[in-house]
Chain A
Amino acid sequence: MARQIGEVILDLRNISLSFGGVKALTDISFDVREHEIRAIIGPNGAGKSSMLNVINGVYHPQQGEIVFRGEHRKDMDTHAMAAAGIARTFQNIALFKGMSVLDNLMAGRNLKMKCSFLQHALWWGPARREELAHRRKVEEVIDFLEIEHIRKTPVGRLPYGLQKRVELGRALAAEPSMLLLDEPMAGMNVEEKQDMCRFILDVNDQFGTTIVLIEHDMGVVMDISDRVVVLDYGRKIGDGAPDDVKNNPEVIAAYLGTQH
């Protein structure tokens, strides 16, 4: 592989998050290096999605510090993170159901479009040129994900596997430098999973996008990720290369249970 794993660009330090009395995350620290594929795994309810929500500012941790590209922050803000090039997909597909695939992807690029609503209303000059220029970019993503045939279809009518792919497309349309994927392969059959793996690896390889991934399919995780962090009950129980994690007794205990 040509890609070079770079410096640490995202460093989470001692993050704790609770909802009322429920502790979702307790004192979690891990980092993400540029261009790597970083997996977060753990049993259900381990706090994996909460972790992603902390990274892109949907949740605000009570304790801890986040360092993103040298910038120290107490918590993140969704808009600032989108502007800084973090895009994500959701565990339960969060597409805009009433809009076509094309519109969903175009919406993904909204931050790059500068015209005001008055210019849009007139549809003249800059607004039109901007729309066409971004359409060209979006078509590249459509081409990359092989979804040309459904570009005008409302996403609500698409089958599940394709919706997952469109959601990846919406994230990619923003040309992110970091991509957070929350169970991109959940509920897919083997072929769909293979396709999705290929897309993820291609994105990582061709665009150098850093990928943080939550996934339950251990085969996939061990195959494609560079480093894996394991959570259980909101605590970090393992961190390292796939092979190390696989042989970590605590991780095995969390997944298979231990004999007492």
Chain B
Amino acid sequence: MIYRETGQFKTSYAADQQIFPIRQDRIGILLLLAVAFLVVPAVAGNYWFNAILIPFLIFSLAALGLNILTGYAGQLSLGSAAFMAVGAYAAYNFQVRIEGMPILLSFILAGLTAAGVGILFGLPSLRIKGFYLAVATLAAQFFIVWCLTKFPYLSNNSSSGVISVPNVEILGFTFDTPQSRYLLVLSIVAVLALLAKNMVRSTTGRAWMAVRDMDVAAEVIGIRLMRTKLLAFAVSSFYCGVAGALYAFCYLGSVEPDGFSLDLSFKILFMIIVGGVGSILGSFLGAAFILLLPIFLDIALPALSDLLGLPFGSATVSHIQLMVFGALIMFFLIVEPHGLARLWQIGKEKLRLWPFPH
């Protein structure tokens, strides 16, 4: 199929402002959703669900949250894992403390709780920018994890703050198979991704990007910096919070505060840097890259050692894995600082002209 918009004329602004203005893209995304909702559940095994697909979706959501804040609103944050922790623990508390609490409502409330905490830690952004703000959000990272360990109330008095979440149940249906949990996570992520896309293509998103690109000019055209930045913190933390709740309820089943360490925050930051800062698609590509590459190397390196007849020890393999991982991240940053999403965009632009580039 030739990818180009020739002959697809837009006769209204509504048609011109679609998320996917080119018909082939619309067909593509529908196909992708159909495969994700119908084909994958039928063919994938438990390993795929538990080790690859569910974490991929959850991290995509967290990366999406951080991308709203860092990519769109330009506020660097190192606290994403902490906001995930707030979401996870809030959802847990709503679930165990309120009898008959619907789980989806718990997720939403968890997101809102994270949003509130996000606003609180976003307040320094009104005075400081860039690296200094990143350091301020680092405070969120350490403070929240410390709180969750320090106050047993938050983990329902369990030892060392570990929480084991109950099964997810909606209207009598228990999500106890990996397949059903995958579908639940996929639905939530798909809806939230659509909402995020709508926000960033509207006045809300334009205000975020205006603040990111030139805050003085944004102020002069009437954008309120404080409100815009705090809204970005709130929405971003909401997404991270829901991701955290899903992380606990649909992926791990039991989490501890130390699981939401600075390492995790960095991992999410790498996802958006590699995937594409300021791109919804980039959040997904970045999450896939950062999650799948280690798994791929895990499989590929032993196979390679067999092929070359060099007996790698398992320690060597894990060292090489780290080195290759780091090297690839640097490679991507040098070759395409705007991330995988930009590569995808360039590819599409090339494809539009192919095979007659002149």
Interface presence of B221 (CB below 8 A): yes
Whether A99 lies near B210 (C-beta < 8 A) is yes
Q: Which of B207, B220, B223, B231 has the most CB of A within 10 A?
A: B220
Chain B residue at smallest Cβ distance from A94:
B217
What is the CB-to-nearest-CB distance from A180 to chain B, in angstroms, rounded to a whole number?
9
Interface presence of A103 (CB below 8 A): yes
Q: Given A82-B221, A117-B199, A120-B202, answer yes or no on A110-B207 (Cβ-Cβ < 8 Å).
A: yes
Chain A residue at smallest Cβ distance from B217:
A94
Whether B203 lies near A120 (C-beta < 8 A) is yes
Whether A98 lies near B222 (C-beta < 8 A) is no
Pick the contact of B217 from A96, A106, A120, A121 — CB < 8 Å? A96
Q: Given A82-B221, A99-B210, A120-B198, answer yes or no on A110-B203 (Cβ-Cβ < 8 Å).
A: yes
What is the CB-to-nearest-CB distance from B187 to chain A, in angstroms, rounded to a whole number?
17
Of residues 107 through 160 on chain A, the ones whose CB sits less than 8 Å from some CB of chain B are: 107-108, 110-111, 113, 115, 117, 120-123, 127-128, 131-132, 135-136, 139
Q: Given A79-B224, A98-B209, A132-B14, answer yes or no on A113-B203 (Cβ-Cβ < 8 Å).
A: yes
Interface presence of B13 (CB below 8 A): yes
Whether B206 lies near A95 (C-beta < 8 A) is no
Chain A residue at smallest Cβ distance from B214:
A94
Residues of chain A contacted by B8 (CB below 8 angstroms)? none
What is the CB-to-nearest-CB distance from B266 to chain A, in angstroms, rounded to a whole number?
24
Whether A110 lies near B13 (C-beta < 8 A) is no
Interface size on A, residues (CB 8 A): 39
What is the CB-to-nearest-CB distance from B252 to chain A, in angstroms, rounded to a whole number?
28
Whether A87 lies near B221 (C-beta < 8 A) is yes
A88-B223 Cα distance, complex, nearest whole Å? 14
**Which applies to chain B's interface (DSSP): helix, strand, loop or mixed?**
helix
Residues of chain A contacted by B221 (CB below 8 angstroms)? 82, 87, 107-108, 110-111, 170-171, 174
Interface size on B, residues (CB 8 A): 30
A108-B220 Cα distance, complex, nearest whole Å? 10
What is the CB-to-nearest-CB distance from A33 to chain B, in angstroms, rounded to a whole number?
23
Whether B222 lies near A120 (C-beta < 8 A) is no
What is the CB-to-nearest-CB distance from A257 to chain B, in angstroms, rounded to a whole number?
34
Interface presence of B160 (CB below 8 A): no
Whether B213 lies near A106 (C-beta < 8 A) is no
A153-B207 Cα distance, complex, nearest whole Å? 18
Whether B203 lies near A98 (C-beta < 8 A) is no
Interface presence of B4 (CB below 8 A): no
Interface presence of B241 (CB below 8 A): no
Interface presence of A78 (CB below 8 A): yes
Whether B217 lies near A98 (C-beta < 8 A) is no
Pick the contact of B17 from A88, A99, A132 — CB < 8 Å? A132
Given A121-B196, A132-B13: 4 more A-B contacts, CB < 8 Å: A96-B206, A107-B221, A122-B198, A135-B17
Q: Give the A-binding residues of B (Cβ under 8 A).
A: 13-14, 17, 195-196, 198-199, 202-207, 209-210, 212-214, 216-224, 231, 235, 278
Between A and B, 28 residue pairs with Cβ closer than 8 Å are: A78-B222, A79-B222, A79-B224, A90-B216, A95-B214, A95-B217, A96-B206, A96-B213, A96-B217, A99-B206, A99-B209, A99-B213, A106-B203, A107-B207, A107-B221, A107-B223, A110-B221, A110-B222, A117-B204, A120-B199, A120-B202, A121-B196, A121-B198, A123-B198, A123-B202, A132-B17, A135-B17, A171-B221
